[in-house]
Amino acid sequence: MAPEPLPRRLAAIFYADVAGYSRLTGTDEDATHRALSAHLDLISNAVAAHRGRVMHYAGDAVLARFDAVVDALRCAVEVQGELALRNRDLPEERRLEFRIGVNLGDVIEDRGDIYGDGVNVSARLEALADPGGICISEAVRSAVGSRLKLGYEYLGEKQVKNIAEPVKAFRVLIDGAAEMKTEMVSPESPTLERPDKPSIAVLPFENLSADPEQEYFADGVTEDIITALSSVQSFFVIARNSTFSYKGKAVDVKRVGRELGVHYVMEGSVRKAGQRVRVTAQLLDAVTGQHIWADRYDGALDDIFDLQDQITATVVGAIEPYLNRAEFERIKQKRPDSLDAYNLTLRGLQAMNELNPHSTARALQLFYKAIEADPNYARAYVCASWCYRRHVQLRGMTLAKKDKDECIRLANTSLKVDDTDPYIL
């Protein structure tokens, strides 16, 4: 019997190494080693402060792992800013500068260390960086988006050692220590300007079921509520990717309001037992932290859509009491005829959001099963289409013509079935 494969997980990998260390040791080895030790301590402290973990040191190099890619890049910028300040008053021949590479990819965790192409790519990116600079992969650039106030320069596709496919690399544009300190987002995060119209962030609902594998169901309920509220034209609703960054964390509502720039925060829980489901929800004022309302919704699993409508209607009524009834009727999404199709789609979404090629392939199979269970469920078609886009995102490869044609067919079919669902649009 073949051995079980080692578990893999998606992580942000931070790799820092000194530029020109051997040159410096030739002038004053003891002084250089003391400076290096101080710099390594600085990096270690910065990694811990940004919720990362140093995996190992290799001479003058540091390898660290982060769960959140924004934390990894923020840490890299802070490190380079602090090192630039330390080097500012030193003669050039005494400056100890680091290169940093940041990647987002699959890693194997074993015996307290990490391995795999995700790690190797981060080391290759470090080699492409300038002394005192940062180089990141396309996966990092896409994941970070505009959340950090930084510039990026595309360096092209780089063929690097021991990596089969070319790596699309970006230089992070940071101009001096002072600019880095003001342009980066601080660990406390900035206060975003709140929009004029009612704005709300729906945090991931907690899974209170006895079975931890029901996590997908709680996430699915959360996503459906986000989608329903997004359909209300007078609302500003934070996207799923932003609110799910708080999943599994103890959060302060006021801080969430500042970081996401919203007036209201909604949170809750889902308990699924057999054919019964209980959803609790509460709405809070993100400015004052005060409760606006809290309620509990019980019903049969077949009534899950009615429960979601009740929650959405309550939110609408609490925030916009004069909202036109026709507006609420419009937010009701097209429901699947088969509860199996809905369940399969939620499982597929959970797999797809694990952000690795194996899980994305499993998600695609689940979405096709959902389509087979209910050929008129538009959401299953569009999720299947999105799997092909994820394939490009995670592997950095273009689609074969037959896959591209299938991706477009699925997307067009979802629009034909339901051209009003904001998830599809």
**What Cα–Cα distance (Å) separates residue 98 from each residue in 66, 142, 385?**
19, 24, 42
What is the arithmetic mean of pLDDT over 395-419? Answer: 86
Question: Is residue 315 over pLDDT 60?
Answer: yes
CB atoms within 10 A of CB 111: 5
Cα pseudo-dihedral 239, 244, 246, 249, rounded to 10? 160
Q: 10 or 362: which carries more pLDDT confidence?
A: 362
**What Cα–Cα distance (Å) separates residue 305 from each residue in 279, 302, 325?**
12, 8, 18
Tens digits of per-residue pLDDT, 89-110? Answer: 777 767 788 999 999 888 887 7
pLDDT at 411: 93
Question: Is residue 368 over pLDDT 90?
Answer: yes
Alpha-carbon span 43 to 80, nearest angstrom: 9
**Of 186-195, 199-208, 369-378, which range is least confident?**
186-195
- Max mean pLDDT range (197-206, 378-387, 389-398): 378-387
Tens digits of per-residue pLDDT, 68-83? Answer: 888 999 999 999 988 8
pLDDT at 30: 67
Q: Is 234 in a helix, a strand, or coil?
A: coil
Question: Is residue 177 over pLDDT 50?
Answer: no
The backbone region for 18, taken as left when phi is positive above 0, alpha when psi lies in -120 to 50, beta otherwise, is beta
Q: How far is CA 78 from its chain centroid?
A: 20
What is the arithmetic mean of pLDDT over 215-242? Answer: 78
What is the arithmetic mean of pLDDT over 5-12? Answer: 71
Average pLDDT, the chain: 78
**pLDDT range class, residue 181, cuts 50, 70, 90:** very low
Tokens 């600085």 belong to which residue? Answer: 42
Question: Is residue 159 over pLDDT 50?
Answer: yes
Alpha-carbon span 215 to 222, nearest angstrom: 11
Tokens 């799923």 belong to which residue? Answer: 240
**pLDDT range class, residue 222, cuts 50, 70, 90:** confident
Alpha-carbon span 59 to 76, nearest angstrom: 19
What is the arithmetic mean of pLDDT over 49-59? Answer: 85
DSSP state of 298: E
What is the arithmetic mean of pLDDT over 279-294? Answer: 80
Question: Is residue 143 over pLDDT 90?
Answer: no
CB-based contacts of 78, cutoff 8 Å, min separation 6: 46, 50, 180, 184
Question: Is residue 2 over pLDDT 90?
Answer: no
pLDDT at 182: 33
Strands 8-19 and 113-115, sheet pairing: unpaired
Angle at alpha carbon of residue 28, lines to 22 and 31, rounded to 5°: 100
Q: Is 86 in a helix, a strand, or coil?
A: helix
| Tokens at 255, concatenated | 């801080």
- Counting residues of the chain whose pLDDT is more than 70, the rounded percentage is 79
**Of 49-53, 134-138, 226-230, 374-378, which range is least confident?**
226-230
What is the arithmetic mean of pLDDT over 135-142? Answer: 90
Alpha-carbon span 300 to 276, nearest angstrom: 4
| Contact predicate 87/122, CB 8 Å | no
pLDDT at 370: 92
Alpha-carbon span 257 to 249, nearest angstrom: 15
| Tokens at 220, concatenated | 């699915």
**Of 10-19, 152-161, 210-219, which range is least confident?**
210-219
pLDDT at 317: 63
Q: Model pTM?
A: 0.43
| Contact predicate 150/173, CB 8 Å | yes
Integer-rounded Cα radius of gyration of the chain: 24
**pLDDT range class, residue 318, cuts 50, 70, 90:** low
**What Cα–Cα distance (Å) separates residue 329 from each residue in 79, 144, 366, 418?**
52, 36, 30, 15
CB-based contacts of 43, cutoff 8 Å, min separation 6: 16, 54, 62, 64, 79, 98
Tens digits of per-residue pLDDT, 299-311? Answer: 787 777 777 777 7
